Structure formats: C-alpha cells, structure tokens
Structure 1
Amino acid sequence: MAFLDDSRSTGHLTGEARVEDYLALLKPSVMQLVVFTAIVGLVVAPGVINPIVAIIAVLCIAIGAGGSAALNMWYDSDIDAVMSRTLNRPIPAGRMTPEQALIFGMVLSLFSVALLGLATNWVAAGLLAFTIFFYAVIYTIWLKRRTPQNIVIGGAAGAFPPMVGWAAVTGTVSIESVVLFLIIFLWTPPHFWALALYKQSDYGAAGVPMMPNVAGNASTKRQIFGYTLVLAASAMLPTWLGFAGPIYTAVAVVTGLSFVLLAWRLLRTGEDVAMRRSARTLFNYSLSYLFIVFFAFMTDNLLARFGGVFA
C-alpha cells in the first residue's frame, strides 16, 4: 500500500486549500449522525462522567470520525472524480493535494485516539482506533472496490460510535451498547443500497461493485426488504431485553413499520423512474429513522433515570 502516491492526484491544483476544504474532508453531514449516536451511548451509559470530560470524549469521537473521512477521501480521490455527487470534493476539484488530505487525516486520527485515552480510558480509545482503522483500511482500501458486500461488512465502522461513547463512561462493552451497534449495522445496507439504486450510474462509472451494479435491481430490492425486516425486529431488542420503556417501544414499532412499508413499495416498483423515486424516498427516510430511534432510546432512558417513568 503506497500511502504517498502521486498518481492518485486527479485534478490540477487551483490554489491553496481553504479552511472550508479541510472542513469538507471531515464529511460533516456524516459526522452529525456519528456524533449523535455516540452521544446517545455516552448519555445512557450507567455511571457518572464529568461534563467537561464528556465534551472532550464527544469531540474526540468527532475528530476521529473526521480523520477517517479524510483518509477515505485521500484514497478514493480517483473515483470521486468520476462520480457526480463527489466530484466537487477538495481533491478531485483540485483545491487540495492527496498528500495534504493524508497528513490531515493521520494527524486527526492519532490525536483523537490519544486524547480520548488520556481523558477517559483506553478501552474507549482502543474502540475509536479500531473504528478509524476499520473505515479507512478494511472498508475503504480493502472492501469497497472488491465486493458488493462492501457496505454490509464495512457498515460496522459506522456502528461503533455508541459503543465508544458507552465505553468512555464505563470502560466496558455491554449488551446495551452491542444492541445499539447492531441496529446501526443492520440499518446500513438498506440505507446505502437505496442510494445505490438511484445513483448506480455513478458507481458503475467509478467501477465500485455496489449491489445494483453486480446483482441487479431486483435482487437489491429483495435484499433491502429482507434487511429492513431484520432491522425492524432488531430495533425491538431494547424492549425485549428490558432496557427501554414505552416511549422507545412505541417509536420503534411505528418507525419500523414505516421503514418496512417503504421497502415493500420499493420492492413492488418496476425498473423505471418510479423505482429511482421510491429508492430516494427510502434513502431519505432512513436518515430520519436512525435519528428518531436513537433519540427515543435516549429520552426513554433519561426519563427512567430521572423520572421513574417505567422503573
């Protein structure tokens, strides 16, 4: 693996990178979800953490996520240049060199892990380090261009943040944090495959073996529906295992059924514009779904802790 490969530069450098270009490397839209799920893990974890330390922990997770995103953009700069939704990123647009992104990503990654370990504990820091490694190396470098299961396996990277937040408080990994991990892990395939259905020409041009390009639309829609059924059932685990109450249960049921309904509608569409429209609707809903479910879980636990709602 050549970490400094000039051949990965995809455009003519038009000038010095700006602050906003470095911010773009962090993938702020993705980071919002990462940070939020990490906060949920931190807030619901049993035990007490100093508020300042909690803020530092969240910042470390955000910085680590941003560092891994920068490494992803460094390695993927060649395919980003041929995909419509990524061609304006700093490297393919020529506003930054790959070397700048690589150094930026490495510095952020190392700094976030070291600071999290010093501020909280080394279990949390180790989980964060593994998360960064998993996203930057296992997913980006190894899986993404080799298998249509890239999102299924690589989705683990996005599922670790609530475990990191939990470990920052407790220094351990528990069944509760594992369940939160599982929900995000199972959410990832229908979320990204819905995107791939209406952006498959992009992935095809870039040579990325996303499921619709390899297995076809019909197979992808069936797999989306299957994963959605498993996700909706798994979202009930907090209730069945006794660490969520009526608010979460009601929200999980309603949002899960809505997800299944949208996946079913997608499954029943043909191979035309209606399919792409249905896939986009499912993709947009999936973004809201995870925020709503995790917010309900956090609310339910906070009310139980401080208000005795279902204690």
Structure 2
Amino acid sequence: MNKNEIPSTNNRKTPLLSASILIKDLKALLKAGVLAANVLPVFSGFWLALHFTGQSFADYWGLFLLTIIGSTMVMAGALILNNWYDVDIDTVMERTKNRPTVTGNIPLKVVLLMGVISTIIGFILLLLTTVEATIYGFIGWFTYVFLYTMWSKRRYTFNTIIGSVSGAVTPLIGWTAIESSLHIVPIVLFVILFIFQMPHTFAIAMKKCKEYSAAGVAMLPVVRGFAVTKVQIVVYVACLLPLPFFLAPLGTAFIVLATLFNIGWLAVSIGGFFTKNDLKWAHVVFLYSVNYITILFLLMVIVTI
C-alpha cells in the first residue's frame, strides 16, 4: 500500500483521548479543587456534631452519605452555574480561557442544565437529612449564585465578603444534619471559614490582578491597589488569633497548634510590607492559606478521635 493511501489519524481523537479531555473539562467545570476544599468542612462539622452529642459515627453512615453527597451536589450546581454565567469573563482571563464553557467543548445550554439538575438533586438529598441543613445549603447556594456571581462580583469590592459567606456555611450543613447550630463550635467554625476566605481570596486577586482588571472584575487589588490589600490581609489574619480559644472543648493541643498556625500566617502577612516582589509574596500567602485551612479542619477531627 502506498503511504498516501494510509488513512491519517492525526486529526482524529481516539476514545481514550476524548475521555481524558472530557474528564479534564468536567474537572474545570466543577472547579474540582474548590469543590473538594468545601467537602472537608462539611465532614468536620458532621464529625464534631457526633462527638459533642456523644454519638457514634458508625450509627450514622446513611445520614453521612446523604449529607456529603447532597451538599456536594448543591455546591457543584452553584459552581457550574458560576461557570455558565461568567463565560464572558473567563474568555478574557488567562487562567480560565480553557474552561469548556469558553472552548465550547460543552455547550452553554448543557452547562446550565447540569447546574440546575445538580442543584435540584442536591437539595432533595439534603431534605432527607434535616430542614436546617437544607436551609444552610440554600443560603450558601443562593449567596454564591445570585448575590456573588450575578450581582456583586463585577460591581463591588465587597464581593469577597459575600462570596465568603457561601463558603463559610459548609460546616453548618454537616453539623445541623445531626444537631441544632445553636452551639459555640459550629458558630466558631463558620467565623473561621469566613475570615480565612478574605485574605485567601485577596492573595489570589493580587496574583491575577491584571487578568481581573482586563475582565472588569471589581476585586480589591484592582480597585484599591496592593497597599490597601496588604493591610486588609493583615487585619483579617489577625482576627483569627482569638478564635482557637473559643474551641477549648477540642483540647489544649488543638488550641496551641491552631494558635501557632495563626501566628505563622500573621508573620507571613506582615512580611508583605517589606517584600520587593508582591506577586511572589501573594503566592506564598495563597499557599499558606490553603494548607492552613486543610490542616486546621483535619486537626479538629484528629483530636476528637
């Protein structure tokens, strides 16, 4: 056979390649990293509620699965709808230009349908837990989709405050699947997550300041500059310092370790006033924040085992 007669496969996607692209697109659509980060506080809230009510995790497997799967699907629905609505912004920004909503790999109508279906299924599952858990799930979803994505993100610098509320309700969902939220522990968990998200998001916004500016997103570094943002980061991190002491029932070891983590983050934050490379410093703050919140919520579970 002449080589010219051999059918070319250069422009043909193999099933394996197509599957890998689909998986990559779904991960981008679901914002897999963000979604996974929000599941841990739900679990921690659920676990701590069992601990403080003297109940066994082994007796609540069914409820645990409903809570985790339901809350995850509600959060996934919110993140998908965020991608659907923000396609114009994502087209401009370098870090989001390969999302399937931008490339067209997944049609926008399909994305919208996925977001709605995921949300509905999630709320149905949460309703099988408790009404209070469902209410907190709805507060998080509504705040993120409507108040953050559709209303404040493009207009106001306080969009970060609104977005932080949606992320902070996650431990309340887990806790209230077991017990009422009228307890110091879930309230403090909410406050920790709310405050944490402010410097965490500011650091991201500093790293991607040019992109946010080009996309017309009213992030604090874009509107007020790096100097103001650095002050805000220090203020919010400092607000974390007293919070471990409100979680005294978790033990001295937790209080000591959490306080050391807070002091370490504050030291890193203050370093921003002396750095010569703002973007490198912002990246360090971002990395510290991600590890901080993961370790802290895992530590809450470990000290209660």
TM exceeds 0.5? yes
CA distance in 2, matches of 1:195, 1:267: 17
CA distance in 2, matches of 1:275, 1:136: 31
Deviation at 1:127, TM superposition (A): 1.2
> 2:3 aligns to what?
none
Residue of structure 2 aligned with 1:58, choices 43, 68, 76: 68
Per mean C-alpha deviation after superposition, the further-off stretch among 16-25 and 225-234 is: 16-25
Does 2:233 align with 1:217? no
> 1:151 aligns to what?
160
* CA RMSD between the two structures: 1.8
After superposition, what is the alpha-carbon deviation per residue over 1:123-157, rounded to whole angstroms, capped at 9, x for unaligned? 11121122111111111111111111111222010
| C-alpha contact 1:71 1:105 (8 A) present in aligned 2 | yes
Residue of structure 1 aligned with 2:46, choices 35, 42, 63: 42
C-alpha distance 219-174 of structure 1, shift in aligned 2 (>3 A): same
TM-score normalised to the size of structure 1?
0.86
- Listed as ranges, the matches of 1:248-263 within 5 Å are 248-263=254-269
Per mean C-alpha deviation after superposition, the further-off stretch among 255-264 and 41-50 is: 41-50
Deviation at 1:174, TM superposition (A): 2.6
> 1:284 aligns to what?
287
Structure 1 unmatched ranges of 5 or more: 1-14, 303-311
Letter in 2 for 1:50: Y
After superposition, what is the alpha-carbon deviation per residue over 1:80-118, rounded to whole angstroms, capped at 9, x for unaligned? 111111111110122122221111111111111111112
Size of the aligned set, in residue pairs, is 281
TM-score normalised to the size of structure 2?
0.88
Deviation at 1:172, TM superposition (A): 4.0
Deviation at 1:292, TM superposition (A): 1.1
CA distance in 2, matches of 1:251, 1:106: 41
Runs of 4+ in 1 over 2 A off after TM superposition: 15-24, 46-49, 171-175, 232-237, 267-270
Deviation at 1:19, TM superposition (A): 5.0
After superposition, what is the alpha-carbon deviation per residue over 1:208-242, rounded to whole angstroms, capped at 9, x for unaligned? 01111111111110111111101233343213xxx
Residue of structure 1 aligned with 2:115, choices 83, 105, 114: 105
After superposition, what is the alpha-carbon deviation per residue over 1:147-174, rounded to whole angstroms, capped at 9, x for unaligned? 1111122201011110000001115443
Letter in 1 for 2:289: S
> 1:8 aligns to what?
none
Deviation at 1:21, TM superposition (A): 2.5
CA distance in 2, matches of 1:178, 1:101: 34
CA distance in 2, matches of 1:267, 1:78: 35
- SS of equivalent to 2:150: helix
- Listed as ranges, the matches of 1:1-311 within 5 Å are 18-45=22-49, 46-47=52-53, 48=55, 50-118=60-128, 120-239=129-248, 243-270=249-276, 274-302=277-305
Q: Which has the larger radius of gyration?
A: 2
- SS of equivalent to 2:100: coil
| C-alpha contact 2:143 2:162 (8 A) present in aligned 1 | no
More helix by percentage: 2
